[in-house]
Structure 1
Amino acid sequence: MNASPHLAVLGAGHTGPVLAKVLTEAGYPVSVAASGDPERIALILSFLAPGAKPRWAADAVAEAEAVFLALPLHRFAELDPAGLTGKIVVDTMNYWPPTDGVQVAFDDPVRGSSEIVQAALPGARVVKTLNHIGYHELDDSRRPSGSPGRRALGVAGDDAGAVATIAAILDRVGYDTLTLPSLAAGRALQPGGAVFGADLTLDRFSQEVSS
């Protein structure tokens, strides 16, 4: 993958524009797509994520090397799996029944939500991260590499190359990362997990995930 791969963010609600902002400011070319005409999100991006390009979803996905899912979970079923074949797909979504209601496709006591995403996108390389930090913190918590107290994020996936790529992107954005060996291990990052919403340094983050 290129040193500055093209990235796509699908979703322009709370998380998408903030994610586009931090990725763009880290030096990545970023496209953002919502559910319809990109002109509908052009103004909000010009204020919240200057430099990010509004695109039709199919075009954003086609030109991206990694695609960040910042969708409401109930919109996930609308994605075209074929378009994501061969892509790194970063799942930032959460299944949270108290807020979103029960969603049958994700109401699985055995598999984590990103494992379900991977099963639905068999040609993609799914990585789970950014679901355990609030969108309002994602911008403010960034710190340069080596800064005391730098916040850590977990990065989980079954494809080691994809995990390493996304970990490097997050490091450049402003976070230390702990890589987890599988999407199954990424259940520790979900709501109710020890590190969900926790502002921890890498050592503390590692201890909590391992305990």
Structure 2
Amino acid sequence: MKRKWMFTFILLIVGFMVAVQYNTVQQPEERDTRDLWAIRNELAKERKLHSELLTEVRELDKTLGKYNSSEGENAGRALADTLHGLRQQAGMIDQSGPGILIDVVPSEESMAFGTPLHEVSPELLTRFVNDVNRFKGIDMEIDGKRVTALSAIRDINGETTVNGLPVSLPPFQIKILSADLGSSEKLYNFLQSSSILDDFYLDDFVLEISQPETNVTINGRIDKFENRFLKELPKEG
């Protein structure tokens, strides 16, 4: 009797394993159905990201090398240079360079029909920023508010805000700096053919984009960052 139960138990296990294997064969994992060009594009994006990370690593190694080879006054200068670079990345200092000016104004149709003036929605501004951020090495200002990777565009009490500061009703201006004049021209051409123009028009706004200029100035952030994690070490006696 005992052998009979053991034999039955073994058959149950074997049957369960066969059923699982059959189910796996009948229902394979979802296959990648993308075509060759889609895979190439994905690979190109990953290579670009890899290149950017390598560039950042080289810059950090270079900075570390400065600290290791510096003494006294030179070490202080290296630290000051690093601090200046970080403040620049955080958008805390004014900057000038080649760029374009974009005036956000109400559309002529909305004014002709007497449509009440309203704010640009946070969603539309965010879509615009994401479109522009396809270009690397840019700095942006929206209605006098500096936009960085840490900036928040959201609705606060019914007002569209950037970094917690309200954005004016149109008309207002957007400034975008590029690394050089050629990059500004590429951005200008991209925006001229971008669907973002239609998105603004559907919301009763028009983007008037200037020709690239050689000298555009944008302001640094006026709000201060909240330091929640870094602590100053006590000075050695």
TM-score normalised by L of structure 1: 0.25
The answer to which structure has the higher helix fraction is 2
